[in-house]
Structure 1
Amino acid sequence: MATWLDHTDFARYALIPEELLPAWEGTEAEDVIGAYVASFRLAGHDILTLGGEPLPVTWLAEPRTFARWYEADDDTGLLPAVRAAMAADSWEDVLTLELGGRYVLTDAAYEADRIAASLRDADGPAEAIRVELPPRRYRVQSLIVDSDPMSRFMLERLLAE
């Protein structure tokens, strides 16, 4: 199944370009705390943030979609629900941004040393997920899906423009 980041102390995840990771201090995303999906610029890069609540999150590379565990006992129905949702007309446009290259999805409050240690420790609980994206402009869209009557996931997909 998917690798999940199971909590965030800051209630905000950040998609950090790997080249900016050594200088990441864990305070950069403080201006976007109130939004479920937001972005800000740092050193010439767009930084995508996901938050609003401390929900577990994962990255699904093939549909270029972040999934957040909204209400569910497990993630067994997630992939079929995401595949079915791809053609839905109910996706909500949130923002557009420029992305491309290697990224790390992690708790926005974590400092660089903690993130790097998590990436090296394959046996410990995941605190960071690697994400690779082709360089381009992306539209971020959101949707809540029900994988079954007892399971809901918040999705944010990246659509190439």
Structure 2
Amino acid sequence: MAGYADTVVVPGAVRWVESSGGPLIALPEAVLSFWAGADGDETSSDYDRACDVDGYVGLLPVGDTRALVLGHEPASTAYLPEHGTFVRWYAADSEAELLADVPAALASAVWEPEAEWRVPGPVVLFDAAWPGRAFTDTDHIRVELAPGRYGVRAAHVSTGPETWLGLVRVSPLTG
């Protein structure tokens, strides 16, 4: 898969982010400069904190907000705004097959408990190993989220014998 910097953005095309082996994070743009990635103290870097997340998702303090960590496996991940969902490609014969299965996966998902995520605005999804100031040097996706509170739920779904995907739904909370 080509890196973000090597590709031309095609309207309507799904863009995928990969990691070098660790978790991905969705970090509010407002605090990108606070994320040190794997840099810093050898025993407690931001990347180490992200790796310590147990499960499909977790929230970590960064500056005056929190980052959403997509844990469990370093799967290629896309954001589908029409579903308000990060889709993680665990196994499928093709992108078309995986994307065609998303509606059925959303309908049949057994969701983990919901977490509340407050964001000050758009977030950037990228490899947690990278410092926030250098995210443009790697695959990344900018996700347009309005400032506010969101419910985050994750699920792991098999839609066929050779198709597995992870779902991380990000839904606005009211009230």
Give TM-score scaled by structure 1 length: 0.81
Is the Cα–Cα contact under 8 Å of residues 15 and 106 in structure 1 kept in the other structure? yes
1:33 paired to 2:51: yes
Coordinate RMSD, CA, aligned: 2.1
Unaligned runs of 5+ in 2: 1-12, 38-44
Distance 1:144 1:57, change over 3 A: same
Name the stretch that deviates more: 108-117 or 149-158: 108-117
1:100 is displaced (CA, Å) by 4.1
1:60 is displaced (CA, Å) by 1.0
**Aligned-partner Cα distance in 1 for 2:133–2:147:** 27
1:2 paired to 2:14: yes
1:94 is displaced (CA, Å) by 4.0
Is the Cα–Cα contact under 8 Å of residues 97 and 138 in structure 1 kept in the other structure? yes
- Corresponding residue of 2:28: 17
Distance 1:88 1:21, change over 3 A: same
Higher strand share: 1
- Report % sequence identity: 32
Instruction: Specify the code of the residue in structure 2 equivalent to 1:108.
Output: A
1:80 paired to 2:103: no
- Corresponding residue of 1:150: 162
| Corresponding residue SS for 1:92 | coil
1:106 is displaced (CA, Å) by 0.3
1:138 paired to 2:150: yes
1:87 is displaced (CA, Å) by 3.7
Distance 1:141 1:23, change over 3 A: closer
1:117 is displaced (CA, Å) by 3.3
Unaligned runs of 5+ in 1: 119-126
Is the Cα–Cα contact under 8 Å of residues 19 and 75 in structure 2 kept in the other structure? yes
Instruction: Specify the code of the residue in structure 1 equivalent to 2:57.
Output: V
Give TM-score scaled by structure 2 length: 0.75
- Corresponding residue of 1:92: 112
Distance 1:45 1:68, change over 3 A: same
Within 5 Å, give how 1:46-125 maps onto structure 2.
46-88=66-108, 90-118=110-138
**Aligned-partner Cα distance in 1 for 2:106–2:100:** 10
Measured against aligned partners, the alpha-carbon deviations of 1:109-153 in whole angstroms (never above 9, x if no partner) come to 1023431334xxxxxxxx111111122221111222334432111
| Corresponding residue SS for 1:101 | coil
Q: Which runs of 4+ in 1 moved over 6 A?
A: none
Is the Cα–Cα contact under 8 Å of residues 35 and 132 in structure 2 kept in the other structure? yes
